[in-house]
């Protein structure tokens, strides 16, 4: 049987960082990823932060992937603006939260994981190969066993192999945690549910619309009626030539008031501010009814080609690389490109009746659970010779508008790599030596503190930002809170009291419909500006959204329902983002083919990831 020092299970941002760091510490490690290639299984919002903290060391992305990360990595935009929009119908009240975003931040980029993690993988495997390690994709780890002092890794695709230690970076629905009973499944109380669509929008239009320069980006958060009465909110991040529009809701809140995830997205899109943000000029073809069927089809195919040319040219014209069109020699200057675009547009319109209307273009629909670290981080993120990192360890920061998982996973990865490297050097993989040391390193992380207690400075900053909003005049019930906010002394006392009581006691107060829905709606109603949309977006149906996804089907289901009659499973009929569940008689039945592996049904099922290379293949993530 082959033997290796370290196996990292899971090639998301956390696992790849662990591989890079271990290899840079001159240790040999292999990484096993179930997806057919890196990046196809990972979903984020997402903003990748680099942070600093006076009270402790944070290991950031640039510490792992090089100080030239910001200039070399395929990141989207440097987030410079951070705005919170309170919504109520067509009334929007916006608060500039940029100081909150800047708090303890070195930099933050919007990212698409299927663009970024393959780059991580390239650097990590380059380092790993120097020490005989590397990345293996398309392999699903199905079991771990300890036999005769050996840790044996079993997969669906390869011969068993032995390892001396494991880093479990297999995400929120960690099978390694289940197989080893290192932790129970996360309960709906402990996690958030995220759903997102990627929207196409030409680069220059993004810059013009959001008032950005060519590398800058902005983040927009939404709370109020768009939540359909749930605890959580929406987000819109500008990428280079796309937008990430999504929503995150406390899973418990969705369970008590079930709604289809795609409807949560639709609700965002219908908001006039958002529909104006995503608006683009889109082609609308007519049916050519007068023609014979055969001719209709011919015209259809011909027009498709012309529309494709039009779109490609238009996207290039509106991109920052538009001068390449001139360099290629096809055009003399940008004016010529513009007139070519106009002439195709004219042809499409005059000859084929194609109209150009305001609408928007969705590229990808995705969904995933997110750990709320303050509720579910593993107190002991290790088991025997296995160290858990990132989402697998339930580690993520979820506080108010803050969602941070990527940076936390990277910080964990470095700590795990340091601990394992020490074990290799001293040839001691005993859980007391390896696991406890890793635990102590993780406990030193400022992120762990952030997941354990309220950061008074952060909250203070937030309260400073909202203190001038005349909330008392809006609703007298808020006056007491307002007094506390306005008075620094009272603020300090109440924060200390809150920390004394602990997160668990005060969470129901902070994370409630009141904070996420009612207060924002009140603000918008009383103080907001009216925003009207100039068009009605035609929103794809869920079947359209699913049809646009790519899968490699497995005839065998990776999920088995425990109790087909349970109330929980009945709720999944609505809550599964791709409607995999339906009712047959009294039984909830599963059709696994459309599964996007979000993990929402995992509490009521025997839940595994699909076998290697099978299942969803995200193109953006």
Partner 1 sequence: MLHVAVIIKLEPDFSEGNVSYNSDGTLNRAETKNILGPHSAVACNAAFYCKVRYGAQVSVGTMGPPIAESALKQAQILSDAEELNLYSDRMFAGADTLATAEVLKNGIEKMFGGNKIDIVFSGHRASDGETGQTGPQTAWKLGYTFLGNVIDFEIDLERKVVFAKRVISLQGMDTIIEEIESPLPVFITIDPSYRSIFNTVSQRLAANNFRKEASKRIEDTGQYLKILDGKKLELDPKLVGLPGSPTIVYRVEKIPRAKTNRKAEIVDPSNVNNLAPVIEKLIQISRGK
Rounded CA separation 551/618 (Å): 8
Q: Counting contacts by CB under 6 A, is residue 597 touching ligand SF4?
A: yes
Which run of H or of E encompasses 493?
helix 488-501
Residues 471-530 that bind ligand SF4 (CB under 6 A): none
Which one of 84-92, 321-329, 438-446, 577-585 is the stretch in contact with ligand SF4 (CB under 6 A)? 577-585
Measured from the CB atom, is 296 or 311 closer to partner 1? 296
Decide: helix, strand or coil at residue 33: strand
Which one of 220-228, 291-299, 331-339, 359-367 is the stretch in contact with partner 1 (CB under 8 A)? 291-299
Which one of 210-218, 224-232, 280-288, 576-584 is the stretch in contact with ligand SF4 (CB under 6 A)? 576-584
Give the binding site for ligand FAD (CB under 6 A): 9-15, 32-35, 41-48, 140-141, 169-171, 175, 194, 196, 246, 248, 368, 370, 390-392, 396, 403-407, 409, 609
Q: Are 543 and 591 in contact (CB under 8 A)?
A: no
Instruction: Give the DSSP letter string of 560-574.
Output: EES-TT-HHHHHHHH
Measured from the CB atom, is 35 or 381 closer to ligand FAD? 35
List of residues 6+ apart from 408 with CB closer than 8 A = 373, 390, 395, 396, 397, 447
Residue 409 touches which of ligand SF4, partner 1, ligand FAD, none (CB < 5 to 8 A by kind)?
Answer: ligand FAD
72: tokens are: 């070399």
Q: Are 86 and 93 in contact (CB under 8 A)?
A: yes
Measured from the CB atom, is 336 or 544 closer to partner 1? 544
Phi/psi at 465 (5° precision):
-70, -30
533: tokens are: 């949309």
191-200/361-371 β-pairing:
antiparallel
210: tokens are: 């959001």
Measured from the CB atom, is 129 or 567 closer to partner 1? 129
Least distance (Å) from ligand SF4 to the CB of residue 577? Answer: 5
Q: Counting contacts by CB under 8 A, is residue 2 touching partner 1?
A: yes
89: tokens are: 């119908």
CA-CA-CA-CA torsion sign (551, 554, 555, 561): negative
Per-residue burial over 579-614, b = 16 or more CB atoms within 10 Å of its CB, e = otherwise:
bbbeeeeeebebebebbbbbbbbbbbbebbbbbbbb
Which one of 128-136, 434-442, 511-519, 595-603 is the stretch in contact with partner 1 (CB under 8 A)? 128-136
Measured from the CB atom, is 22 or 459 closer to partner 1? 22
Can you tell me which of 219, 341, 596, 603 binds ligand SF4, judged by CB under 6 A? 596
CA-CA-CA-CA torsion sign (496, 502, 508, 512): positive
Rounded CA separation 546/578 (Å): 7
Which one of 74-82, 295-303, 384-392, 514-522 is the stretch in contact with partner 1 (CB under 8 A)? 295-303
Residue 136 touches which of ligand SF4, partner 1, ligand FAD, none (CB < 5 to 8 A by kind)?
Answer: partner 1
Q: Are 462 and 468 in contact (CB under 8 A)?
A: no
Residue 5 touches which of partner 1, ligand SF4, ligand FAD, none (CB < 5 to 8 A by kind)?
Answer: none
Measured from the CB atom, is 520 or 540 closer to ligand SF4? 540
Q: Counting contacts by CB under 6 A, is residue 599 touching ligand SF4?
A: yes
Which one of 211-219, 249-257, 293-301, 336-344 is the stretch in contact with partner 1 (CB under 8 A)? 293-301
Q: Counting contacts by CB under 6 A, is residue 601 touching ligand SF4?
A: yes
Decide: helix, strand or coil at residue 411: helix
Q: Counting contacts by CB under 8 A, is residue 176 touching partner 1?
A: no
**Footprint of partner 1 on this chain (CB under 8 A)?**
2, 4, 30, 125, 129, 132-136, 139, 157-159, 161, 293-294, 296-297, 300
């Amino acid at each position: 049987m082959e033997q290796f020092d370290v196996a990292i299970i899971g090639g998301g941002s956390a696992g790849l960082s662990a591989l890079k760091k271990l290899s840079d510490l001159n240790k040999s490690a292999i990484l096993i990823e179930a997806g057919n290639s890196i990046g196809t299984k990972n979903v984020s919002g997402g903003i990748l932060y680099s942070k600093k903290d006076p009270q402790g060391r944070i290991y950031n992305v640039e510490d792992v992937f090089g100080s030239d990360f910001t200039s070399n990595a395929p990141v989207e935009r440097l987030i410079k603006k951070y705005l919170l929009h309170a919504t109520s119908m067509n009334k929007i009240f916006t608060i500039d939260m940029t100081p909150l975003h800047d708090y303890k931040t070195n930099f933050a980029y919007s990212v698409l994981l299927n663009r970024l993690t393959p780059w991580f993988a390239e650097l990590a495997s380059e380092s790993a190969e120097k020490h005989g390690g590397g990345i293996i994709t398309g392999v699903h780890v199905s079991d771990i066993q300890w036999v005769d002092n050996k840790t044996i890794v079993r997969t669906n695709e390869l011969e068993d192999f032995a390892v001396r230690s494991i880093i479990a970076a297999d995400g929120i629905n960690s099978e390694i945690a289940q197989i080893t009973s290192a932790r129970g499944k996360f309960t709906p109380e402990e996690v958030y549910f995220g759903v997102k669509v990627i929207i196409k929008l030409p680069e220059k239009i993004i810059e013009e619309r959001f008032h950005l320069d060519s590398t800058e980006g902005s983040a927009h958060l939404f709370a109020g009626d768009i939540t359909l009465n749930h605890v959580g909110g929406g987000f819109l991040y500008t990428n280079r030539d796309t937008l990430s529009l999504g929503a995150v809701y406390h899973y418990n809140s969705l369970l008590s008031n079930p709604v289809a995830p795609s409807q949560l997205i639709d609700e965002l899109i219908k908001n006039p501010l958002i529909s104006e943000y995503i608006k683009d000029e889109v082609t609308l073809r007519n049916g050519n009814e007068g023609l014979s069927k055969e001719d209709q089809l011919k015209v259809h195919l011909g027009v498709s080609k012309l529309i494709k040319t039009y779109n490609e040219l238009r996207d290039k014209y509106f991109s920052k690389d538009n001068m390449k069109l001139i360099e290629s020699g096809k055009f003399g200057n940008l004016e010529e490109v513009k007139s070519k675009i106009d002439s195709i547009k004219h042809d499409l319109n005059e000859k084929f009746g194609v109209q150009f209307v305001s609408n928007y273009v969705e590229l990808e629909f995705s969904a995933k659970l997110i750990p709320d670290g303050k509720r579910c981080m593993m107190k002991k993120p290790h088991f025997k010779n296995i160290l858990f990192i990132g989402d697998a360890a339930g580690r993520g920061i979820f506080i108010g508008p803050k969602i941070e998982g990527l940076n936390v996973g990277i910080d964990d990865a470095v700590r795990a790599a340091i601990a394992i490297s020490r074990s290799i050097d001293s040839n001691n993989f005993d859980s007391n030596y390896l696991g406890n040391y890793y635990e102590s390193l993780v406990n030193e992380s400022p992120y762990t503190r952030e997941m354990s207690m309220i950061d008074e400075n952060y909250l203070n900053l937030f309260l400073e930002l909202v203190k001038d909003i005349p909330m008392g005049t809006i609703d007298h019930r808020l006056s007491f809170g307002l007094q506390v906010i306005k008075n620094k002394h009272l603020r300090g006392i109440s924060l200390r009291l809150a920390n004394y009581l602990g997160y668990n006691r005060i969470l129901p107060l902070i994370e409630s419909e009141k904070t996420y829905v009612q207060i924002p709606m009140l603000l918008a109603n009383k103080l907001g500006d009216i925003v009207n949309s100039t068009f009605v977006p035609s929103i794809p149906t869920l079947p359209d959204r699913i049809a646009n996804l790519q899968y490699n089907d497995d005839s065998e289901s990776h999920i088995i329902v425990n109790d087909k009659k349970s109330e929980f499973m009945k709720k999944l009929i609505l809550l599964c983002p791709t409607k995999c569940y339906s009712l047959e008689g009294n039984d909830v039945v599963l059709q696994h083919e459309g599964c996007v592996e979000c993990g929402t049904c995992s509490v009521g099922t025997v839940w595994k990831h699909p076998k290697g290379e099978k299942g969803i293949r995200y193109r953006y993530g």
